[in-house]
Amino acid sequence: MYKLTPIMMALNLVAIASASAMTIEPDPQNPGGYLVSKVELAEAAKSKTSNPMYATWAKALQTLDNTSVEAILPGRAANPSNVKRVESVFPQAQWDFLTHMAAPEYTYTRFLRAIGKFPAFCGDYTDGRNADEICKKSIITAFAHFAQETGGHIGKDNVSDNPQGLEEWQQALVHVREMGWAEGQPGYTTGCGQNDWQNRRWPCADGQGYFGRGAKQLSYHFNYGAFSEVMFDGDATVLLNNPGLVADSWLNLASAIWFFLTPQAPKPAMLHVIDRTWLPSQREQDAGIGYGFGTTINVINGGIECGAQNKNKGQPVNRIRYWEGLSHYYNIPIETDEENTCWQQTPYGSLNLNGATDVLYTNWEGDWAYYSDRPGGYSFECKLVGYQTAYSALVPGDYKKCVTNFYQSHASWPAVRVVDTLEPPVDEPPVGGVAGWDTDKVYLGGDQASYKGAIYEAKWWTKGDIPDNSQPWKFIRDAK
């Protein structure tokens, strides 16, 4: 990220045209700051996320309130419709069949509550897709990954440690905390306490450990914070202050469902790979990425497990074995265009999708392009990028936070305040025969303007920069 210097600005007079109508006014309460309209800001965000997939993602991440979630019980008549579907296609007996070795913190009731939190998981379809089949395939896909992430990995013929002769794909959810870690141990605190946007948004709590917990082994403070925001109405501190909840409550399974539904653009959400809401771009297809279980491996851990160099590596080989065993047992049909493996795929982390027009991104970053018709050449807008930032396009209100630099992640970004309505600018009267500064006028080096009873001279080309607190201007004298 960079800011155009005055020399660069002068050399870039052929500037980017405004992407959208924006009215920017000086902020009378903050010299050197600016005001933008709430309405125009909302319109800008809407135009940048007009692709229907953004609405699909947002819907997939809608949640049920926790009071209603905690009322869910097996067989309860008032259970949400997606929970009833799970009870139908994957009843308690099937849960028991796959969890003989599971830690006691994982229960069928907690599984149902985790699913109830997210109505899109095992939800309805109105376009002819078979919701029951998609639901069953989603659960079995999740269990294949559970078996790898938290499984026992004990051979069927190891009668001393596996007296029931369970298949390895029947050994999911053995671990609720990462092996070697216990509550009260601070750990996985890399980056904690630094003066950066991650800590300003998701501050670590003293003495807490953010090691792996739950079915997906949620790790690191920024993941605990982001998950907490979803679980607790935008409050990141609940789980940052008490990460043990991810082990000891229904959040131990909800964290996995959340991951299952969340796109990490350009990676798709796992659900949308399974139900085919996602359409792979041409660049993804050229990289071998398409439908099937293999792509869900790429989403989870492609950098370590996908690509030809990892074809015989233990983790992906295990995942594929577990998926093939489960899908065979549960009669999950494998379509002709689906691949169980990902060794033939380029890992997402190695796939350069910058500039691709058929790939969508889900994080906001300051737009550092130069806009000739806006103060200082700043855009006063944010753009979508394919890497993690402080601001998500799927979190309501984050676009405004990005434009106002809420978490101070944009160096040298102008101070911006959002207001409901903008008042028309007040014309500056002349001072000592020098015309008042005009926010819409272009000033070249040597041009003078009066502002608040003083005379200033432009040092170089400038437009919209307030004279009394702006680098392009130098003070000449007060009016006498």
Q: Which residues 6+ apart lie within 8 Å of 317 measured at CB?
A: none
Q: Burial level of 333, CB count in 10 A (0-12/13-18/19+)?
A: exposed
Residues 414, 466: Cα–Cα separation, whole Å: 12
Quick one: tokens of 367? 């737009």
Place of tokens 């979630």: 69
Peptide bond into 80 cis (omega under 30): no
Catalytic residue among 40, 87, 105, 149: 149
**44, 161, 48, 66: which is closest to 113 by C-alpha?**
66
Query: Taking the alpha carbons of 205, 209, 210, 213 in that order, is the dihedral positive or negative?
Result: negative
Residues 44, 242: Cα–Cα separation, whole Å: 37
Place of tokens 């789980």: 239
Quick one: tokens of 199? 């800590």
164-198 burial, b if ≥16 CB within 10 A, otherwise e?
eebbbbbbbbbbbbbeeeeeeeeebbeebeeeebb
Q: Put residue 320 in one of left, alpha, beta given phi > 0 → left and psi -120 to 50 → alpha.
A: alpha
* Integer angstrom CA distances of residue 249 from 42, 70, 111, 162, 423: 37, 10, 10, 27, 51
* Integer angstrom CA distances of residue 167 from 37, 99, 216, 326, 374: 61, 11, 21, 10, 65
Pairing verdict, β 416-419 and 34-37: parallel
Q: Which amino acid is at 160?
A: S
* Partners of 253 in beta bridges: none
* Integer angstrom CA distances of residue 393 from 200, 222, 396, 399: 19, 17, 7, 7
Q: Is 149 a catalytic residue?
A: yes
Determine the length of the chain: 480
Q: Which residues are catalytic?
A: 149
